[in-house]
Structure 1
């Protein structure tokens, strides 16, 4: 278990946004737009294709350690702890002075690794809210807010595992505190702007 926790944190600490932007000769995402090394900010500075690569690789940082640990027989509670470790690696990366992204893509990837239907539910909620509200952060926050509920009912009704999912939920709201402030003030940018 300890090796999985360390490995998932170190994998989570790899910044897909910074590396992919460097490969594509784009500015460091920490110095452009929102300053966040994540797919939404890369979309602003590099376009859809580059952002899609960031989204996929950030998702894999959550999915790979969870799926690998599942293969070795770890239980659902242990798998959620491994997801938490990968998520914390993304948000507080050891390679970048503990200043990372907001963690939604890594969280989604981990949810897919835990249960395809949980990940699918997250994605559907995100898409519906994004279509209606036209604001990525509102879509992410809504899908995240509801995730402990549908996680609990779709999986094995594991209370301890659900509490870990709820803890990640709190972290995501913490990483989105500036987005929440802008939403409250009517200043948050819309998708495509």
Structure 2
């Protein structure tokens, strides 16, 4: 029963819609009605600006981290933090608090990896920033970072993590399918570093 409650708690933590909360409380704006309609950090940056985007991105990262650490917090080491972390990511993508319309899994997946392996998180964060700097596409950077996370997991020989990062990367690609079309059509928005 304790494991079931922890799984539900992880999903609920992942379901906290920071993009919706920050938009409505701080800006009187429902970001689901603007931009891409997505609740994640990227749409928040575009619709509400840098300050809101940073707050939402950090919130989405840390809810993945907190959920992943639940087995350690409650001293239930028999259950894998990987499973609990994935439930938070599912909550982020399909949040019960926002009519199951959530983000694209990138930030919360990163937060899950931060809870599991800070070294791996550092690698993927660096790869994301570097790819974003070169391409100026957030979506492309997210997908490439997913592939790098799989490769890094193989190198550190954590095969449970290989499976999870592979599943999450499939989710990330699936959630970015419209972005892939726009990249191919050269209509995907680029960020400005200015």
Is the CA contact (8 Å cut-off) linking 2:17 and 2:92 kept in structure 1? Answer: yes
The Cα offsets for residues 136-156 of structure 1, whole Å up to 9 and x where unpaired, read as 1111110111212212323xx
For residue 33 of structure 1, give the secondary structure of its aligned residue in structure 2: coil
Residue 78 of structure 1 and its aligned partner are, at CA, apart by: 1.4
Write out the 4+ residue segments of structure 1 that deviate beyond 3 Å after TM superposition.
none
Alpha-carbon distance between aligned partners in 2 of 1:74 and 1:170, rounded to the nearest angstrom = 27
Residue 164 of structure 1 and its aligned partner are, at CA, apart by: 1.9
Alpha-carbon distance between aligned partners in 1 of 2:145 and 2:28, rounded to the nearest angstrom = 30
TM-score by length of 1: 0.92
Q: How does 1:1-193 map to 2 (within 5 A)?
A: 1-71=3-73, 72=75, 74=77, 78-154=80-156, 157-192=157-192
Which sections of structure 2, spanning at least 5 residues, go unmatched? Answer: none
The Cα offsets for residues 29-86 of structure 1, whole Å up to 9 and x where unpaired, read as 10001111111111111111111000010111100011232342536x8111111100
Q: How many residues align?
A: 190
Is the CA contact (8 Å cut-off) linking 2:19 and 2:41 kept in structure 1? Answer: yes
Which sections of structure 1, spanning at least 5 residues, go unmatched? Answer: none
TM-score by length of 2: 0.92
Alpha-carbon distance between aligned partners in 2 of 1:136 and 1:159, rounded to the nearest angstrom = 28
For residue 69 of structure 2, give the secondary structure of its aligned residue in structure 1: helix
Is the CA contact (8 Å cut-off) linking 1:102 and 1:176 kept in structure 2? Answer: yes
